[in-house]
Each structure stands twice: as structure tokens, then as C-alpha cells.
Amino acid sequence: MADERDPKISQRYRNLSGEEPSRELDQAILAAAHRSVDRSHAPLVVPAGRHRWYYSLGAAAVLVLAIAVTIHVERQQPDAELAEAPPPAPQQDKPVSAPTAPAAQPSRDMAARKERRQVYTPEPPPAPAAPAPTQSAQPSAGAMADSAAARRDAEASAREEQAKRNVEALKKERAAASRAAPAPMASPYAAVTPERELERIADLRRQGRDEEADKALAEFRRRYPDYVISDEMKAKVERKAAK
Amino acid sequence: MAAYRGGDAGAFEVLYARHRTRLFRFVLRSVKARALAEELYQEVWMRVIEARASYAPKARFTTWLYTIAHNRLVDHWRKRGLTLVALEADDVASASPDPADHAQARESLARFAAALEALPALQREAFLLHEEGELSVAEIASATGANEETAKSRLRYAMAKLKAAVDDG
């Protein structure tokens, strides 16, 4: 609307006294403007009004997530690698498997990982078929302790082997029994395990019923020809004079 | 204003410095009493501050600012039991300016001031919006809630009367 503007009128108007707001008024208005900006940050700290539900919902969601993760971690089984990895004791490993390579030490990280594996594995099975440790005993300060530990390890391996053989024998026996006597006329030994039978023989032996014990032992050996009786059990089931 | 809405208090200071004098004169020459003008002027700025968060730039800030000022003046006049009546056909002399102004009739500036003061309120407002706010006719119409033809007519009448006062000087 520039065509409405008259320069003479504008000039005369400008020549009127130039009133201005007072300085106090200016300061009051500017202070109010600053206060408004400062107040606007408050809701970030203290949510108010209709936005409160949003923060409550967020907090509840975080809580539920945390509980779910905790339950999941507790139920989580160790993975296959960790469960099946043979965790031999580190002090047994070193002298047996790498006696002449002290430079090839596993890193600290690996050692820490092994520690964790041992923690996660509830019942570490013995090392399978560990070589006999006696031939490479080290002339170090812990050699005696190491060889004793290695011997214990070998014994544990042997027991494991024996247990495996016993299980195999039992499986064969049960398979043969099932083939020979289909269902109704099952052998009285069908429900009896070799271990229980040996316990029964040991009981007979303790009660002094040696004749019955001898017969039962002979019958046991006939039924389980592949079963290897441990030394401890042999002492219980065999006649003392036979020793 | 957008910067101030975003939390920049310094932006408000720039805006305030740009508009303080013109807006104050607009209010002062609308109500004529300085104390009342200061009160209304402060209320206008307070409304600007309160509207900071909801400000949406639909028009120039100046138009928006003077719209607030106009509304505040209308509220003021309504409280006083006064209404703005369009007196486009009235003669300037019928407004009967203060006799003291007649005593200074030889001074053109005083005559101009008297002519401005004598303008009907809506014409004076249209002139002040045009002169102080530098609003166009369309913006004056928007700020005062009138249609463009009415705003243009008010402004034209005001300019004619003021031009007569200037020419007389």
C-alpha cells in the first residue's frame, strides 16, 4: 500500500515528539521473557499434566525388560561348545601336553576364558584318554604334585573306560534278553542291574552265606561275561579265601 | 520469534528492540494517557511472551504483534464501556479538539498532532498501523478483523484529514 503513503504526512508525523517506553518497563518485559524461557525447561525435569503417563509407561517397560532378560539369562544353558569342551585342569595341561614349549603360553585372555568355562560347566567330565603322565615328569618344583594329579587323572580315565564298557555290556545283555524272552516270561534278572546284583551278592557275603554268594557270583559271571567288576566290588563279592 | 520459541531469549531482545518504540507510540496515540499506554503496552508484550510456545508464523511477526495490540485496545475500550464507532463521514472539526491546541494553531506540528488526535479511533488506528507498524492495507484488515475495502477506506479518510492539517501549516 505504498501508494497510500504521503511523504509529507510521514515526515510531519515523525516530527512529533518521540515517546518511548520507560527503562523500567523495558527491563520488566525482558525479565519476563527470560523467565518464560527458563520455565520452559522445567517440564524436562518434572513432567506435568497429560505427559506423565508417558514417563510412567517408559519406566514400566524398562522394568519388564530387565526382569525378562534376567530370567532368560538364568534359564539359559551353557552352549554346546562350553558344555562339551573338556576342561582339564590348567596345571595338568601344561606339563603333559607342552612340556618343552614354555614360550607358547596361552594368552591371559584365553586363560580367563578357560576360567569362565570351568565356572559354567557344572560337572566337568574327565579328560578322555589322557596319556599316562609319568613318562614326561618335569624336574621342576611342582613335578611331584603334577605327577600325582596326572595319576589321579589317569585313574579317573580308566574308571570312565570301565564304566563305558559296563554300559555296553549291559546294553548287549538287555538286547539279547529281549530277543530270547519276548514279553511275559522275562528273566528275573531282566529288571535287575548288574550293580544291584553285585550288591546283593555282597550282602550275602556279609551275612556269611558264602555258598549262596558263590553261586550267585558264578551265575552273575555267566550272565554278564563282559562285565568288569571293580576291585572295590571284587573285595566285597569274592570269597576271602580266594584272595 | 521462531528462535525465541526455541528457547533463545536473546532473540526476544532483538525483536523487542526493533518494535518497542513504534509499538509504544501506537498504543500511546491510541489511548493518549501515558500511564495507561504503558500498562497496555506491557500487556501486549506479555501476551507475546505467553504465546511463545504456540506461536505459528502464519503472517509477518509485525502483523501478529499489532493484531495483539489491536485486540488489547478493543478489550480496554469495552471495559470502559466504549465502542469503536466508524465515523468516516465526520468532519475533523466535529471532534472538537482541545482549545489549548487551537492556541498553538500556528505551529504546524501542533496542528498535525491535533488532527491526529482528532481522528476517529478506527481511522487513527488504521493510520498508526500503517505508519508505525508499516502494515499494508491487507495487513491492517487482517490485524483489525475488517475487510480490505473497509481498511482501505479508513486509511484513506485518515490520510486526507491529516493532509489537510499539513497543508494548512
- pLDDT digit string (tens) for B110-150? 778 888 888 888 999 999 899 888 899 999 999 888 899 99
Query: Can you give the pLDDT at residue A20?
Result: 84
CA distance A34 to chain B (A): 6
User: Does the distance separating the beta carbons of B109 and A33 come in below 8 Å?
Assistant: no
User: Does the distance separating the beta carbons of B49 and A33 come in below 8 Å?
Assistant: yes
Closest in B9, B52, B137 to A1, CB measured: B137
- Distance CA(A110)–CA(A108), nearest Å, equals 5
CA distance B16 to chain A (A): 8
Give the residue among B115, B92, B22 at the shortest CA–CA distance from B61.
Answer: B22
What the block records as the C-alpha cell of B46 is: 506479555
What DSSP string describes A100-141?
T-TT-PPPHHHHHHHHHHHHH-SSPPPPTTPPPSGGG--SST
Cβ–Cβ pairs < 8 A, chains A and B: 92
Residue A13 · residue B112 · CB < 8 Å: yes
Give A26's contacts in chain B (Cβ within 8 Å): 16, 20
- Distance CA(A122)–CA(A222), nearest Å, equals 39
User: Does the distance separating the beta carbons of A1 and B155 come in below 8 Å?
Assistant: yes
Our measurement of the distance from residue A78's CA atom to the centroid of its chain's CA atoms, rounded to an integer in Å, reads 4
The average confidence (pLDDT) of chain B is 80
- List residues of A whose CB lies inside 8 A of any B CB: 1, 4-6, 8-10, 12-13, 15-16, 18-22, 25-26, 28-30, 32-34, 36-37, 40-41
User: Does the distance separating the beta carbons of A9 and B162 come in below 8 Å?
Assistant: yes
In chain A, DSSP assigns E strands to: none
- Distance CA(B120)–CA(B30), nearest Å, equals 10
243 residues of chain A, pLDDT tens digit each: 445 677 888 877 877 767 888 888 898 999 988 888 877 655 544 455 555 677 788 899 999 999 999 999 888 766 555 555 455 444 444 444 444 444 444 445 555 454 544 444 444 444 444 444 444 444 454 555 566 667 777 777 777 777 777 777 777 776 766 555 444 444 445 567 888 889 999 999 888 888 899 999 999 888 888 888 888 888 888 887 644
CB atoms within 10 A of CB B115: 25
State which amino acid sits at residue B111. Answer: R
Give the residue among A164, A120, A127, A122 at the shortest CA–CA distance from A149.
Answer: A127
User: Does the distance separating the beta carbons of B41 and A21 come in below 8 Å?
Assistant: yes
Q: For residue A92, give Cα distances in angstroms to A99, A112, A137, B59, B69.
A: 11, 17, 11, 85, 92
Residue A15 · residue B107 · CB < 8 Å: no
User: Does the distance separating the beta carbons of A37 and B7 come in below 8 Å?
Assistant: yes
What are B34-82's pLDDT values in tens digits?
888 899 999 999 998 888 877 777 778 888 899 899 988 888 888 776 5
Which one of B28, B49, B157 would you mutate to disrupt binding with A, by most A Cβ within 10 Å of its Cβ?
Answer: B49
3-class SS of residue A77: coil
User: Does the distance separating the beta carbons of A30 and B50 come in below 8 Å?
Assistant: no
pTM of the model: 0.44
Q: What is the pLDDT confidence band of residue B153, given thresholds at 50, 70 and 90?
A: very high
- Distance CA(A116)–CA(A129), nearest Å, equals 24
User: Does the distance separating the beta carbons of A10 and B4 come in below 8 Å?
Assistant: no
Closest in B13, B52, B137 to A30, CB measured: B13
Closest in B7, B16, B52 to A30, CB measured: B16
